[in-house]
């Protein structure tokens, strides 16, 4: 991808192309691959998808999703109804461990509880993201599984070596402090970045991933 104008136009085109995003009130600002999305969308899944669409564009190095979810009148749910719907959804989802709970306030869902793996925490957030009436999801779920930091480094590095999206010449490095993984180095695309971060969250005992990766485009 060439100039800043090219990236700006490409992001706008990708948002318009994506059938899961209503881009009518989305505004794109680009500064040398640093992209901000401003404006409104009518649902939380569209908020998530707009950010994903921007990250798919070549030359985009960072995405700042400032979109606000403004629900249509027909999609508003009172807090009690949304809380019940969210907890029923979590209970019925086989990928979410028992004990994860949701509480709603003004359309904002707070998730709490304890799981063993970061991917289980992601699964809980994904389970409730598409419910009618959700404006935002805050994931405050704790991870209980403890692991030796040296084991975490080995597990993550081994996963990176297996991943088809990550080149053999990759300079990505993995460091741990307690149960926090810090990733640094260079990746070529957002897809490669997502693969690296996803691999880090797969390891047991990881409760935080710090993404210091640079996207070269």
Is residue 78 domain-shared with residue 136, that is, in the same domain?
yes
Is residue 172 domain-shared with residue 130, that is, in the same domain?
no
The residue count of the chain comes to 217
Minimum mean pLDDT among 39-43, 69-73, 156-160: which range? 156-160
Is residue 84 domain-shared with residue 62, that is, in the same domain?
no
CATH of the domain at 112: 3.30.1340
CA distance 155 to 202: 9
Is residue 78 domain-shared with residue 138, that is, in the same domain?
yes
Q: pLDDT-derived band of residue 10, with 50, 70 and 90 as boundaries? A: very high
Is residue 90 domain-shared with residue 64, that is, in the same domain?
no
CA distance 146 to 117: 10
User: Of the candidates 93, 111, 143, which is a domain's last residue?
Assistant: 143
Cα angle vertex 56, ends 53, 62, to 5°?
Answer: 90
Q: pLDDT-derived band of residue 76, with 50, 70 and 90 as boundaries? A: very high
Structure tokens at 174: 């993995």
CATH of the domain at 51: 3.30.1340.30
Burial 178-187 (b: 16+ CB within 10 A, else e): ebebebeeeb
Distances (CA, A) of 15 to 5, 136, 198: 16, 20, 24
H-state helical runs in the chain: 4-17, 44-55, 79-92, 118-129, 149-162, 190-202
Q: pLDDT-derived band of residue 2, with 50, 70 and 90 as boundaries? A: low
Is residue 112 domain-shared with residue 135, that is, in the same domain?
yes
Q: pLDDT-derived band of residue 1, with 50, 70 and 90 as boundaries? A: low
The count of structural domains within the chain is 3
User: CB-based burial of residue 78 (10 Å sphere; 0-12 exposed, 13-18 middle, 19+ buried)?
Assistant: exposed
pLDDT digits (tens, 9 = 90+) for 165-193: 787 778 899 888 888 889 999 988 888 88
Mean pLDDT of 63-69: 97
* Residue 202, pLDDT score: 82
- Residue 52: which domain range? 4-69
Is residue 17 domain-shared with residue 50, that is, in the same domain?
yes
* Residue 178, pLDDT score: 80
Structure tokens at 124: 């809980």
Q: What Rg, from alpha-carbon coordinates, does the chain have?
A: 19
Distances (CA, A) of 194 to 7, 54, 154, 191: 20, 14, 19, 5
Residue 72 has pLDDT above 70, yes or no: yes
Does the pTM exceed 0.85? no
Is residue 65 domain-shared with residue 8, that is, in the same domain?
yes
Structure tokens at 4: 């800043």
pLDDT digits (tens, 9 = 90+) for 136-149: 999 999 888 666 77
User: Of the candidates 118, 143, 168, which is a domain's last residue?
Assistant: 143
Is residue 49 domain-shared with residue 79, that is, in the same domain?
no
CA distance 81 to 16: 33
pLDDT digits (tens, 9 = 90+) for 196-212: 888 888 887 788 899 99
User: Of the candidates 93, 110, 143, which is a domain's last residue?
Assistant: 143
Is residue 165 domain-shared with residue 203, that is, in the same domain?
yes
pLDDT digits (tens, 9 = 90+) for 101-156: 999 999 999 999 999 888 899 999 999 999 999 999 999 998 886 667 778 888 88
């Amino acid at each position: 991808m060439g100039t800043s104008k090219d990236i700006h136009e490409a992001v706008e085109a990708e948002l318009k192309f994506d059938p899961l995003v209503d881009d009518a009130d989305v505004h794109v600002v680009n500064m040398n691959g640093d992209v901000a999305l401003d404006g409104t969308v009518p649902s939380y899944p569209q908020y998530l998808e707009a950010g994903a669409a921007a990250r798919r564009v070549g030359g985009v190095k960072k995405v700042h999703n400032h979109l606000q979810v403004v629900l249509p009148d027909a999609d508003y749910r009172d807090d009690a109804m949304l809380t019940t719907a969210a907890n029923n959804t979590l209970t019925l989802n086989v990928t979410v461990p028992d004990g994860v709970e949701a509480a709603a306030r003004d359309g904002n869902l707070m998730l709490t509880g304890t799981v063993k793996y970061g991917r289980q925490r992601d699964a809980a957030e994904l389970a409730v993201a598409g419910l009618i009436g959700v404006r935002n999801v805050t994931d405050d779920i704790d991870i209980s599984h403890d692991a030796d930091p040296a084991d975490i480094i080995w597990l993550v590095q081994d996963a990176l070596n297996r991943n088809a999206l990550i080149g053999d010449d990759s300079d990505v490095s993995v460091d741990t402090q307690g149960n926090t993984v810090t990733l640094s180095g260079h990746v070529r695309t957002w897809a490669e970045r997502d693969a690296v971060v996803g691999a880090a969250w797969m390891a047991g005992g990881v409760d935080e991933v710090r993404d210091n990766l640079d996207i070269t485009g």
